[in-house]
Amino acid sequence: MDFRLTEEQKMIQRTVREFVKNELMPLEPEVLRREREGKRGMTREEIRALQLKAKELGFWGINTPEEYGGANLGPIMTALIQMELARTFVPFSFGGSADNILYYCNEEQKKKYLIPVINGERISCFALTEPGAGSDAANIRMSAVKDGKYWVLNGEKIFITNGNEADFAMVFAVTDKEKGANGGITCFLVDREMGWRSEYIHTMGEWGPASLIFEDVRVPEENVLGEVGGGFKLGMKWIGQGRWMIAARAVGAAERLLQMAIDHAKQRVTFGKPIAERQAIQWMIADSHVEIEATRWLVLYAAWLAETGQDTRHYASVSKLFGANMANRVVDRVLQIHGGMGYTKELPIERWYREMRVWRIFEGTDEIQRYIISRNLLKGHVKVGDLLA
Cβ–Cβ contacts within 10 Å for residue 283, how many? 11
In three-state secondary structure terms, 147 is strand
CA distance 323 to 319: 6
CB proximity list for 213: less than 8 A, separation 6 or greater = 156, 196, 197, 198, 199
Find how far residue 310's CA is from the centre of its chain.
Answer: 21
CA distance 97 to 244: 18
Annotated active-site residue 363? The verdict is yes
| Amino acid identity at 201 | I
Among the listed residues 23, 206, 363, 367, the single catalytic one is: 363
Provide the β-strand partners of residue 125: 169
> What are phi and psi for residue 185, nearest 5 degrees?
-115, 135
The CA angle 139-239-49, to the nearest 5 degrees, is 130
CA distance 147 to 153: 10
- Determine the length of the chain: 389
In three-state secondary structure terms, 150 is strand
Catalytic (active-site) positions: 363
